[in-house]
Structure 1
Amino acid sequence: MTDPYSLLGVSRSADEKAIKSAYRKLAKELHPDRNQDNPKAAEKFAEVTRAYDLLSDKDKRAQFDRGEIDADGNPTHPFGFGNGGGQGYSTYSRGGGPGAEFEFGAGGADFGDIFEGLFGGGGRRSGGPFGGFGGRSAPPQRGANMSYRLSVPFVDAATLAPQRITLADGKTIDLKLPAGVESGTQMKLSGKGQPGPAGAGDAIVTIEVAPHPFFEKEGDNVRLDLPISLNEAVNGARVKVPTVDGPVMLAVPAGARSGQTLRLKGKGFTHKQGGRGDQLVTLLIDLPAHDPALKAFAEDWSDSRPLRAHLGV
């Protein structure tokens, strides 16, 4: 992947606000819904989303800036060389769509078989650090757990759409997302880790909810800024609004104000206890620039209310 800073068009010293602003601008331009006849736009949208996913995560950004991981989030020394002898995890990009990756846990290798071969059988080993002689053999160990990260599209997370992930052995599994899913949610797949004498370890899948170009998550609610025209605000109107479940019609009341928030019940994320949050729609009156008719109207009309009296001016 191209350098994430270059993809978003920001400097390496850009703060979180600048990075988010750059992503939102690009995402709106490149979103597949606006470019249905341009597959390259969809590819570019996926690239800038992965770039934002990396740079919006403080830990990942710091690792990238230090050269510990590349632009795809993979370690520059996947087997630990040059990094203190392989402490921590080694991450490998693998299947499951963009953002799906897995890690092998440090210390997961079972050295019992190695030392057993050196000392000629388990019956002669003691309890010393490498077995020794005359003691009992160590009990068989389960295989190491394997950790995966799965990037889930915002709308899929809100609607609990099934997700497919490809494991290290090449097998694919369809995951049913749990109620209350959010970034950091972990799912355990029993027996899907590395094999071992006492059985396979587990696969631990950590969910990351991908950002969306115009929806934002707030608890179990979804927030959306909705532009409306002046006449829709003054006279009231029924307007089409996007939701995670698809477009719906929203009644804008006559005399609506910019900044006013309307609620669409049950259009948010699923609660852990069941039921769903709401979608909170904030109205933003969008005035056209240099419109002669609007300018002529404003010249013949004035608002005599003391709008700023509560501010002491």
Structure 2
Amino acid sequence: MAATGFKDYYAVLGVSRTASADEIKQSFRKLARKYHPDVNPNDKTAEAKFKEVSEAYEVLSDADKRKKYDQYGQYWQQASRAGAGSPYGSPFGGAYGSPGDGGFDFSNYGSFDEFINELLGRFSTPGGGGRSSYAYGAPGGGPAGPGFGYDTAASSQSFDQEANIRLTFGEAFHGAQKRLRIGNNSVEVRIPPGAKQGSKIRLKGKGPMNPYSKQPADIYLVVQLDTHSFFKLEGDSLSAEVPITPDEAVLGGKIDVPTPDGSVTMNLPAGIRSGQSLRLRGKGWPSPKGDRGDLLIKVVITPPGTLSDAERQLYEQIRASRTSNPRQDLTNTRI
């Protein structure tokens, strides 16, 4: 089965689906400066990231494109080509990718095949000794347009299909039960704990009929994970940033930090630097085996916004009596 090729442009720019045009612009400018090729010469990873954020901004900054993207998800370009006059309306009955339930609706079609045929503008029928098949997200596209391939293969070619399902951070972490409507059928789907961005959930025998094997294909639900206001999931690692005061950084001590299971007390070593990470074992993301990964807490030294008179006097005393100079080794730095 080919990959879906779908990109969550909101996740690429690090904004919510309800972000304003100004928020989208600000996030793009920040990321564009960070990954611009002039700032990262000969860095292929940064160059690819720059292209990705530029692509995301091109879509989300255009009100019409963003509306279609929000409505049709990975099929927004095909929906644009199909036009508003399509007798089928929204390919997912208006429920595709809705934040409320993460579901979709194929009820506007007699079968999943009809939906695919509408997108491709052709029917998949055997002929001329070949076997026609769908290829979702085929790199480089094909005769049907970007993101779709249409090739001939043996009768063993998979007819499995993919569709996106959006989950909140909590649903992905704890697991969830989702009721989805596929055609005229209502299907109960169990999302196991620990689903991640791009995870695939198999719905066996819920796809279109394979005309060669006479067996129903499978549908794979590809998880699209909403962002969280505090926690971040990158690969298998769950992380979070926690602010600390300058005196906590110098003296160390105990601080309370949030975890997915609630607040815990963490030991802060004296002399910790801003940006260093501390590990809380067993407090991270669930794995398919049922165990838990680690939570990485990144500390950020945050000076107070306002000072009382007593605090200011104490800081001035520290400055007057300070013996160390953290910039001493930079004195003779030149280019």
Taking structure 1 as the reference length, what is the TM-score of the superposition? 0.61
**Matching residue within 100, 103, 114 for 2:103:** 100
Please give the residue correspondences for 1:158-169 in structure 2 after superposition, counting only pairs within 5 Å: 159-168=173-182, 169=184
Distance 1:8 1:297 in 2: 43
Distance 1:162 1:110 in 2: 36
Distance 1:251 1:187 in 2: 39
Give the aligned partner of residue 280 of structure 2: 264
Does residue 236 in structure 1 map to residue 252 in structure 2?
A: yes
1:88-115 alpha-carbon deviations (Å, 9 max, x no partner): x945543786143367434598677xxx
Give 3-state SS (helix, strand or coil) of 2:22's partner: coil
Give 3-state SS (helix, strand or coil) of 1:204's partner: strand
The verdict on how the C-alpha distance between 1:272 and 1:228 changes in structure 2, with shifts beyond 3 A counting, is same
Please give the residue correspondences for 1:19-34 in structure 2 after superposition, counting only pairs within 5 Å: none
Distance 2:69 2:121 in 1: 27
Percent identity of equivalent pairs? 25
The verdict on how the C-alpha distance between 1:277 and 1:94 changes in structure 2, with shifts beyond 3 A counting, is same
1:5-53 alpha-carbon deviations (Å, 9 max, x no partner): 9842517755536589xxxxxxxxxxxxxxxxxxxxxxxxxxxxxxxxx
1:214-238 alpha-carbon deviations (Å, 9 max, x no partner): 2122331112111123444444333
Post-superposition offset of 1:211: 1.1
Give the aligned partner of residue 70 of structure 1: 68
Give the aligned partner of residue 6 of structure 2: none
Taking structure 2 as the reference length, what is the TM-score of the superposition? 0.57
The verdict on how the C-alpha distance between 1:71 and 1:79 changes in structure 2, with shifts beyond 3 A counting, is closer
1:41-79 alpha-carbon deviations (Å, 9 max, x no partner): xxxxxxxxxxxxxx9794696388384552633248749
Uncovered stretches (5+) of structure 1, i.e. residues with no partner: 21-54, 113-125, 130-139
Give the aligned partner of residue 206 of structure 2: 192
Distance 1:175 1:66 in 2: 35
Distance 2:191 2:103 in 1: 16
Letter in 1 for 2:304: P
RMSD: 4.6
User: Is residue 242–residue 298 contact of structure 2 (8 Å, CA) maintained in 1?
Assistant: yes
Please give the residue correspondences for 1:250-289 in structure 2 after superposition, counting only pairs within 5 Å: 250-271=266-287, 275-289=291-305
Post-superposition offset of 1:152: 1.7
User: Is residue 162–residue 176 contact of structure 1 (8 Å, CA) maintained in 2?
Assistant: yes
The verdict on how the C-alpha distance between 1:256 and 1:232 changes in structure 2, with shifts beyond 3 A counting, is same
Give the aligned partner of residue 221 of structure 1: 237
Give the aligned partner of residue 174 of structure 1: 189
- Larger of the two Rg values belongs to structure: 1
Does residue 304 in structure 1 map to residue 323 in structure 2?
A: yes
The number of aligned residues is: 249
Does residue 8 in structure 1 map to residue 20 in structure 2?
A: yes
The verdict on how the C-alpha distance between 1:247 and 1:256 changes in structure 2, with shifts beyond 3 A counting, is same
Letter in 2 for 1:311: L
1:235-276 alpha-carbon deviations (Å, 9 max, x no partner): 433322111233222122344443332110122224467643
Give the aligned partner of residue 152 of structure 1: 167
User: Is residue 254–residue 268 contact of structure 2 (8 Å, CA) maintained in 1?
Assistant: yes
Letter in 1 for 2:206: K
Distance 1:218 1:164 in 2: 25
Does residue 81 in structure 1 map to residue 82 in structure 2?
A: yes
